[in-house]
Structure formats: structure tokens, C-alpha cells
Amino acid sequence: MATAVLQARMSSSRLPGKVLRPLLGQPMILRQIERLRRCRRLDRIVVATGDHPSDDILVETLAGTGLEVVRGPPEDVLGRFLKVIETLGLTGDMVRLTADCPLADPDVIDACIDLRREGGFDYASNGQVRTWPRGLDVEAFTVEALQRAGAEAVSDYDREHVTPWLYRPGSPFRRGDLVQARDDSALRWTVDLPEDFAFVERVYAALYPKTPAFTSADILALPFTRREADV
């Protein structure tokens, strides 16, 4: 089993409510979930959100999708992931994704899961040695590894960012890095700022009407890109 846990909240400091911003007539998070459902290696998608009242509207939006939603501590996101494990009785692989990446690439997610499994790694990602655009980030790890991190990680930073305990220097966990030959690390495809969302809107407007399952290669072929230097 491989379960994707999509962490989402309404209280983003830089772009509040971004996960529900309309993107071609649908909330941004639903556009991302549409792409995640094309992953071949994912058996389950769970949304992990906060138990703060501001997140009630997100839960209501997801109610008709058939997705499982687990609510937990708004700031202790690691605790929220552990609650997902406990509530749903998860075993096997977990995949951590964030709900500000509506250009998520199913092939990259599948490749990261394959790398973790085939290499026998406890943790694999494409973000520690970055060759992919920001916004295609994916982390795959075992439930057992995250449970150990949950028992040992105590700092606010580790609890907020979920996985640092798994890849920090001196970590007892085996790490695999998913890299590609081309360096696209300067490209910015995530949504943190209004300018980021405007870029994503342009991508969807250009590609989605004719090709709903558009690929990263389709995005790269567009005459416009967004780079870290633009921010």
C-alpha cells in the first residue's frame, strides 16, 4: 500500500485561503487531487488539515469528493501525520505532499515511490538534491520511519516540517535521492504568492482545455516559465 497524505490549511500567511482559490472553475486543491489520482502507485489519498475553525470550509469543500480527511494540530504537522496513521491504521508507504502544488507530476510521484521501494530506503525524495522545479516536491517514506521520528523529534521545526528527522545529518535512516539529468531547480511551480497563482492560471488556461492530463513536458514547452529569480 502507498498512501499519499496531502497536507492543507486555510491559514497560509502569504496567501490565505489559497488552496480554495478558483482554478478554471474548481478549487485549486481539487485540481491538484485530479492530478494525483493519475498516479499508478498510490492506493489512497488522504487530506490532513488542521482542527482550527478556519479549516472548516476546507473540510466542507472536500465532503463530496470521497476523500478521507483527518484533522489534527494546526502547527504540529508531524503530529497530524501520526494521527493519520493511527486513525486509518496505515502500514507500508506514506507519501507527503503539500496542497500548494497544483502542477504536481504523477510520474515523478510514482518514480519516488519506486525509488524508495527498489532501493530499500527508509526515505526518498526529490527535494534534498534538487533537480526538479519547486512545486513537484514529493517525499516517500515508511510508516515505521515516521513513527520513530514522531517519538524522537521534539523541536518545533521538526514537528512543523514533518520529515527533517528522517534526513538530517547523522540520521539512522537510509535516504534515496530522486534526480534527473536536466537541472530545472530554478523553476518555480509552487503557489505561495499571488504571482505564483497567476502563473498557474496561465498554465491551466493554456493546456487544460485540450489536454486535462497535461505533463511537465507540456509546461516546459510553453513560451513562459516562472523562476526563483522572479520572486
Q: Which domain holds residue 37?
A: 2-183
C-alpha cell at 187: 523553476
* 135-156: b (≥16 Cβ within 10 Å) or e: bbbbbbbbbebbebbbeebeee
Give how many domains the chain has, as a whole number.
1
> Is 21 domain-assigned?
yes
| Phi and psi based region of residue 186 (left: phi greater than 0; alpha: psi -120 to 50; beta: remaining) | alpha
Q: What pLDDT is attached to residue 227? A: 80
> Is 201 domain-assigned?
no
User: Parallel, antiparallel, or unpaired: how do β-strands 68-72 and 93-98 relate?
Assistant: unpaired
Residue 30 CB neighbour total at 10 angstroms: 18
Q: What pLDDT is attached to residue 13? A: 73
pTM: 0.95
C-alpha cell at 225: 516559465
The domain that contains 132 carries what CATH number?
3.90.550.10
> Is 195 domain-assigned?
no
Q: What pLDDT is attached to residue 101? A: 97
Q: What pLDDT is attached to residue 231? A: 55
> Is 197 domain-assigned?
no
Helices 77-88 and 143-152 sit at what angle, rounded to 10 degrees? 130
Q: What pLDDT is attached to residue 229? A: 62
pLDDT in tens, the chain (231 residues): 799 999 999 987 788 899 999 999 999 999 999 999 999 999 999 999 999 999 999 999 999 888 999 999 988 999 999 999 999 999 999 999 999 999 999 999 999 999 999 999 999 999 999 999 999 999 999 999 999 999 988 899 999 999 999 999 888 999 999 999 999 999 999 999 999 999 999 999 999 999 999 999 999 999 998 887 665
> Is 193 domain-assigned?
no
> Is 22 domain-assigned?
yes
Q: What pLDDT is attached to residue 230? A: 65
> Is 84 domain-assigned?
yes
> Is 207 domain-assigned?
no
